[in-house]
Amino acid sequence: MCGIAGLFAREAHAQVDRDLLVRMRDRMVHRGPDGAGLWCDDGIGLAHRRLSVIDVEGSPQPMHSPDGRAAIVFNGEIYNYRALRSELAGLGHAFRTEGDTEVILAAWRQWGADCLARFDGMFAFALYDRERRQLFLARDRFGVKPLFTALLPDGTFAFASELKGLLAHPALDRTIDPLAIEDYFAWGYVPDHRSMLAGVDKLPAGHYRIVEHGKPPHPPVCWYDISFERRETMSAQEEAEALRAHLGTAVASRMVSDVPIGAFLSGGVDSSAVVALMADRASQPVTTCSIGFDVADLDETAHARLIAEKFGSAHHERIVDPAMFDRIDALAAMFDEPFADASALPTAAVCALAREHVTVALSGDGADEAFAGYRRHVFHAAEERARGALPLPLRRAVFGPLATLYPKADWAPRPLRAKTTFQSLALSGEEAYARALGVMSPELRGRIFSPAMKRELGGYRAEQPLIELMRNAPARSGLDRAQYADLKFWLPGDILTKVDRTSMAVSLEAREPLLDHHLVELAARLPDTRRVSGGQGKLALKQAMEGTLPQQILYRPKQGFVLPIAQWFRSELKEAARAAARSERLLDTGWFDAAALSQLAEDHIAGRRDHARELWQLLMLERSVSLLSNN
């Protein structure tokens, strides 16, 4: 795993500032502490930080093709590189190393941009072709690996694995985009279609981009999209066998490593399945790492311990408590942009724990999105059946007034929050799912934003891109559309960003076998009832693991990796909540109504409302704005 950076001049014969490129590269030393590389030529400079995982002694980067035509910097892993290497050797390509980077170069020479469809892996890379005088940038199917880009005032095109790499460039426009603030409060992160800074873009997942001297950068091109349009007609036994085969292949391919490898273990279905399949293929006990909480209702360490004992893993645990709040500044620095998924704190803790024992860790991320494992999928599927029975105008007439009259009950389980259900049924499926996925409602954003901020937004509403994504999805049902939105919007923006930044901050490579695209594509073809049925999500995956995982793991209620911030903000951290709501740094931006922010904190502390997530958003935004202003 690595960090990459580069500068591509507008003019082909312009000189690249080597010292500046080194500064960009070394802002990301955590992504690659094992080595550094730099290559510059007329109009181009490529830089690389290396975390050695495969072919530890070889494969230095930037790497050049044998004929000198192409040079590459690459972040990620190509899991099927050995099969591709054999195929390319049969086509006449010679290889000097044992790693996957050289395979990308040969594949580009053989197939051009079509090489991307042949890669099984996670990646972001930049490849310079001397003959074509063009830069080719690409990102993997689901956005496991990040890539930030910027067009600088002099026409130079810059890129880096993290925003902090671009922030090392003095010419970068640091103007904060007000639309990103709206996006952030809606979702808790800044989605891939936007950046916190107006002058920065993110290459979207499953896209590539070409840049040529003397021309504006070409827009990103989509090379991969997941489709829910087909349906499988397998028997239950055939389905279970197919899933088990795909799961086994995905896990085995991600166990290839020349350095110690382990796994995150939460005690849920997904990480437990990964550990079980690893144990079946490992020649020695699997190293597993778990994080627990000081709040019993949220602690899963007993379940993780059960799996560790069953499969004989070398198990390690650590407990998260309010004292870890002191690490919030370090957490904010990992992300650069504001990132308010509070589970990033325990994720950072489990990554740090894992790095004490291994260099690579497998995770269970991706299965909830692919197999419909979130509670919101179960609720959405049920609501979609009701929407199908009644036309939208009638639902608005009946459920809209009920939602207005019914009291808000933040404390109640979701099925008992009738107000939320009435609100959802009065909306289209896409609008309702956008609300279910969001953190702060449009109404609450309307209360906390100042009149000046609302004018800057010009009517923009953060939910609209997600609604349009769902309406245009290659899908057959409302559940399909919800999962499509998760895979295209939520997964790269939240889940994978969280895992990438927290793992790379401690120089740990995280791999997601349950995001193997063959497995995800099979999941997308399963009938709705094999994903959600009888109030259960992820049904097909659970049934495929029967006989391997204990029933109490497979069918216990989903807990999620949730930090107990609601309790903390009413006890040990209540003054931190007040401080976030009264932050001079935030109020000086002119974005907020001061009285509304203060009321937000006091309502939560008094127990009148649950605003824990919103208060965490304010905390993380305050830290992020501070970091950006000091860079």
Crossing angle for the helix pair 612-629 and 178-187, nearest 10 degrees?
150
Name residue 39's beta-bridge partners: 46
| Local structure of residue 491 (DSSP, 8 states) | I
pLDDT of residue 55: 63
Residue 279 CA to residue 139 CA, distance in Å, equals: 31
Residue 610 CA to residue 613 CA, distance in Å, equals: 8
What's the burial of 153, exposed, middle or buried (CB within 10 Å: 0-12/13-18/19+)? exposed
Residue 416 CA to residue 52 CA, distance in Å, equals: 51
pLDDT of residue 324: 78
Whole-model pTM? 0.93
pLDDT tens, 213-238? 999 999 999 999 999 999 998 998 99
pLDDT of residue 394: 67
pLDDT tens, 146-169? 999 999 999 999 999 999 999 999
| Local structure of residue 50 (DSSP, 8 states) | E
Cβ atoms within 10 Å, residue 179: 17
Residue 506 CA to residue 349 CA, distance in Å, equals: 10
Residue 506 CA to residue 455 CA, distance in Å, equals: 41
Asked about 2 being catalytic, the answer comes back as yes
Strands (E), 294-333: 314-320
Which residues fall within 8 angstroms of residue 339, CB to CB, at 6 or more apart?
188, 189, 332, 497, 498, 501, 620, 624
pLDDT of residue 230: 95
Listed residue (26, 35, 25, 23) closest to 61, CA to CA: 35
- Segments in the chain below pLDDT 70: 1, 54-58, 296-297, 394-395, 397-398, 400-419, 559-562
Q: What are phi and psi of 248, to 5 degrees?
A: -60, -45
Residue 351 CA to residue 91 CA, distance in Å, equals: 41
pLDDT of residue 386: 83
2, 115, 289, 351: which one is catalytic? Answer: 2
